Amino acid sequence: MSAVVDNHGHAAHDEHGGGYHGGIMRWITTTNHKDIGTLYLWFSFIMFLMGGVMALVIRTELFSPGLQWVNPDFFNQMTTMHGLIMVFGAIMPAFVGFANWQIPLMIGAPDMAFARMNNWSFWILPFAGSLLILSFFVPGGAPGVGWTMYAPLTVQMGMGMDLTIFAVHLLGMSSIMGSINIITTILNMRAPGMTLMRMPLFVWTWLITAYLLVAAMPVLAGAVTMTLTDRHFGTTFFNAAGGGDPVLYQHIFWFFGHPEVYIIALPAFGVVSQVIPAFSRKPLFGYASMVYATSAIAILSFIVWAHHMYTVGMPVTAQLFFMYATTIIAVPTGVKVFNWVATMWKGSLTFETPMLFAIGFLFLFTLGGFTGLVLSLVAVDVQLHDTYYVVAHFHYVMVAGALFSAFAGVYFWLPKWTGRMYDETLGKIHFWLTMIFFNMIFFVQHFLGLAGMPRRIPDYPLMFETWNKISSIGAWGFGLSQVFFLYIVLKAIRSGEKAPEKPWEGADSLEWTHLPTPVPHHTWETPPVLK
Amino acid sequence: MLAVLAAAFSGLAMGLEWNLQPAASPIAADIHGLHEYVMILVTVIFIGVFGFMFWACYAHRKSKGHQAEQFHENTTVEIIWTVIPALILIVIAWPATSVLIAQRDTSQPDLTIKVTGYQWKWGYDYIKGEGEGISFVSKLTTPRDQIENKAPKGENYLLEVDNEMVVPIGKKVRVLTTAADVIHAWWIPAFGAKQDAMPGIIRDLHFKANKTGVFRGQCTELCGKEHGFMPIVVKVVSQDEYAKWVGDRKKAIAAAADDPAKQYTLDELKGRGEKVYAANCVACHQASGKGTPPMFPPLDGSKVVTGPKEGQMDIVVNGKPGTAMQPFGKQLNDVEIAAVLTFTRNNWGNKTGDLVQPAEVKAARK
């Protein structure tokens, strides 16, 4: 930072409480980690609603057998875009938003290490999101290939596929820049005395996640670039007729795709690891083993990718390797679950909304973990691969895992960020609605998958009708519950009661113990010293 | 919810819709056994772990005046709950490995059938064993009216085909899978047999049916817009019935052979062409001939269709790479191709008056 910026900077801070600009320009030019965190969170929520509308189109079509509302082509576009938008537009940016807000606060750093790059990391996202949405309006529409974009179906798609590929490139750039920023911030900007093994677990999970992102995102970029050249420049990476191999795409994609699962799950573990101790009024049980378990999960995530591909016809020895490697992940994951339960054991528990979502996470994520164990067994997976059982399984991990944890995080930190409390009663109602409707949608899908309903079909045989009806009704309830969440948050920001200095008795990380509520626009201009 | 979980997943509950379909092969039965074994294990663990959690939620509440203890690690406990799950995994891995090895053993089959996935139908070629030489294409027969809700749906809605794959009971059937265009997946749940069918690659699976009857499945790899409409139906019959089916099938093939040297009239070809069109072309190009552009172009008024015969013939016979237009030369005989060409050139607004004779197609193939 040059002296010039410092001289101008201080006067401006005092006038506007931040940056050089007011209004919209404040948000476009901001380099403040809190502003950028807010931008990430709002962006992810908007994308969450868009992806949610697509999910409702899917579930509405599946309410009854026969084609009622959309044609099969558009249905495929919906499943594809729902997946891409939820994974890359909603869940990942949401946790980057938490990282931006919380990491500097929790480690005693004044801001992220590369503040300007941070601005760019965010502002790439709206362009990537626009490309995805734009693909609906070009000839041929959005790609109808599934979010996994398997070759060679991708070669048959219209230019919507190209827009999607470029969007994935942009999203990857954004993620990589964000990760480098997070790694650098955590490794270089901790306050004196904040040793690695004293960091809040949320910071640890993000440090590990950031490494996963840096390793995995370029692989995805490579896969979609090969798809692009196969489409337009006569290469045959994935075409056996030209010496390529369609299975190669799947290997590359899932080499990214499995770490991606943990890119989403680990920060969720981090949030839950902050929330559960706070409401148990008891330190996290097994902090060191949590760090080791998280690292173990991250490393294992790179050697299990082909468990997504048990039906491509790998040699049986390869299947055995991937089966054993996959089941081993159950050990560190189990350690984490046991640690969370042990944290609650003999605590002094209260059940405010963040804690409810954290317990909901723990319960349902474990259920999703067990169905994952079932799916890891090749012989059983052959039966369940590409059925609704898999859809149920990964929504337990992605929604009940990541989304529940994100809700827990929002309710937990909203008072700190805004200085206002949400309405506790409404928050609890939101939790119970979300919990009930979530299970209504996805629990029954286990039965559909067992009974043999393939995924990604717009119409189905009559024997699947009952469960589909229940699932669709649940989907509408779930969707409306999230609009209710928007109302709760807006109500809190506009007219919520003023939050007490420390609303959560058991919260003990730096932002709760050393900073006022709401946090000022600039924090830790003088780093705290931890003894 | 736990009760539902336990009952539904451990195989105690009744009926098709709660659990895996009834097994009709030894491997499928093994898969059921493995699934139930694992579900019982995980259900017990689940109840145990969350029993602790809910007990804490009940007994260690602040509102009951419970004071928090401040312990935060215990090496012995942590080692125990790392080692025990690892041991449980070994207990699971043992049967999982043996079922998998049996499932993948495709050696010494009695009958070998090649299955080819097309957008959006299945081709079957009996290539070794009794019935060698039989070859047919199997397509959905559910009427469009049922799909579009204009007629009541039949019992086997979306699970019925014109030509079922027929196999004898108790014989080891090896299925080779491949595809002509994109990746499909061949699956019969009751046999515990699923394998991706990939273009340019041959993979295999096997099953040995131990019940007679009709078994139904669906394509399980997203393969484009009609992915949900390409079912798989296998009919398992006794050895005698199978021998009879093979005999009938071979006679029918001989009788139905078209004579490509014959000169056909315009009406003959149009009539035949309409049937070929309805079976092979209508999914993409639509009955109206308008297609769904730009992915599936219209034929009505198309420059290719109303242009020189040779151009259209080339696309129909050889396909168009990078699109869903596949090389129909491999699936249709000369008479069928000639008929569908004649039909499209003289239907809707297309009034070329052209008549394409099978002999022309035969000549063009060379």
Residue B186 has phi, psi (to 5 degrees) of -95, 125
List the domains of chain B with CATH numbers: 2-103 (1.10.287), 111-256 (2.60.40.420), 266-365 (1.10.760.10)
Mutate to test the interface with B, among A78, A311, A331, A373 (most CBs of B within 10 A): A311
Residue B29 has phi, psi (to 5 degrees) of -65, -40
Contacts of A466 in chain B (CB under 8 A): 17
Active site residue A258: yes
As a whole number of angstroms, the distance between CA A362 and CA B54 comes to 11
Catalytic entry in A35, A61, A230, A260: A260
Q: What is the count of residue pairs from A and B with beta carbons less than 8 Å apart?
A: 298
Contacts of A506 in chain B (CB under 8 A): 68
Q: Which residue has the tokens 């499995």?
A: A258
Maximum separation of any 2 CA atoms in chain B, in Å: 97
Q: Which residue has the tokens 């996935």?
A: B117
| Bridge partners (DSSP) listed for residue B196 | B185
Contact B201 A152 (CB under 8 A): no
Strands B135-138 and B165-168: unpaired
* A173 within a domain of the structure (yes/no): yes
The domain tally of chain A equals 1
Establish whether the linkage from the previous residue to A254 is cis, with ω within 30° of 0. no
As a whole number of angstroms, the distance between CA B224 and CA B239 comes to 38
pTM across the whole model: 0.89
Contacts of B5 in chain A (CB under 8 A): 367
As a whole number of angstroms, the distance between CA B312 and CA B317 comes to 9
Catalytic entry in A175, A434, A517, A523: A175
Active site residue A521: no
Report the Cα B137 to chain-centroid distance in Å: 13
Of the candidates B252, B109, B81, B122, which has an alpha carbon nearest to the alpha carbon of residue B168? B109
Active site residue A147: yes
Contacts of B177 in chain A (CB under 8 A): 313
Contact B224 A153 (CB under 8 A): yes
Q: Which residues contact A350 (CB under 8 A, 6 or more apart)?
A: A279, A505, B61, B62, B63
| Domain with A502 in it | 32-513
As a whole number of angstroms, the distance between CA B173 and CA A3 comes to 79
Active site residue A471: no
Contacts of B18 in chain A (CB under 8 A): 447, 450-451
Of the candidates A19, A13, A38, which has an alpha carbon nearest to the alpha carbon of residue A413? A38
Active site residue A525: no
Give the gyration radius of chain A's Cα atoms: 23
**What ipTM does the predicted assembly reach?**
0.89
CATH of the domain at A212: 1.20.210.10
Contacts of B96 in chain A (CB under 8 A): 323, 377-380
As a whole number of angstroms, the distance between CA B5 and CA B47 comes to 10
Nearest to A153 among B99, B182, B195 (CB): B182
Q: Write down the number of H helices and E strands in chain B.
A: 11, 10
* A50 within a domain of the structure (yes/no): yes
Instruction: Count Cα neighbours of A286 within 13 Å in the Cβ-side half-sphere.
Output: 27
- The stretches in chain A having pLDDT less than 50 are 1-19
* A10 within a domain of the structure (yes/no): no
Active site residue A307: yes
Structure tokens at A368: 């999703």
* A384 within a domain of the structure (yes/no): yes
**Please, are residues B147 and A66 in contact by the beta-carbon 8 Å criterion?**
yes
Of the candidates A121, A100, A122, A119, which has an alpha carbon nearest to the alpha carbon of residue A31? A119
Element (H, E) at B22: none
* A15 within a domain of the structure (yes/no): no
Which pLDDT belongs to residue B258? Answer: 75
Q: Which residues contact A444 (CB under 8 A, 6 or more apart)?
A: A467, A470, A471, A474
Of the candidates A80, A77, A86, A45, which has an alpha carbon nearest to the alpha carbon of residue A171? A86
Catalytic entry in A59, A169, A282, A336: A336
Q: How far is B241 from chain A (nearest CA, A)?
A: 29
**Please, are residues B250 and B135 in contact by the beta-carbon 8 Å criterion?**
no
Mutate to test the interface with B, among A457, A504, A505, A508 (most CBs of B within 10 A): A457
Q: Give the SS3 label for residue A350.
A: coil
**Please, are residues A367 and A333 in contact by the beta-carbon 8 Å criterion?**
no
* A12 within a domain of the structure (yes/no): no
Question: Nearest residue of B to residue A72 by CA position?
Answer: B225
Contact B68 A241 (CB under 8 A): no
Which pLDDT belongs to residue A62? Answer: 96
Question: Nearest residue of A to residue B192 by CA position?
Answer: A383
Question: Nearest residue of B to residue A379 by CA position?
Answer: B100
* A323 within a domain of the structure (yes/no): yes
Q: What is the pLDDT of residues B29-83, one digit of tens each?
A: 999 999 999 999 999 999 999 999 999 999 999 999 889 898 988 999 999 999 9
**Please, are residues A154 and B222 in contact by the beta-carbon 8 Å criterion?**
no
Active site residue A121: no
Nearest to A348 among B19, B67, B293 (CB): B67
As a whole number of angstroms, the distance between CA A66 and CA A76 comes to 15
Q: Give the SS3 label for residue B208.
A: coil
Give the gyration radius of chain B's Cα atoms: 28
Active site residue A430: no
Nearest to B195 among A73, A313, A451 (CB): A313
As a whole number of angstroms, the distance between CA A423 and CA A426 comes to 5
- The stretches in chain B having pLDDT less than 70 are 1-16, 366
How far, in Å, are B97, B115, B134, B254 from residue B128 at the CA level?
30, 13, 10, 19
As a whole number of angstroms, the distance between CA A398 and CA A485 comes to 18
Count of CB atoms situated within 10 Å of the CB of A487: 13
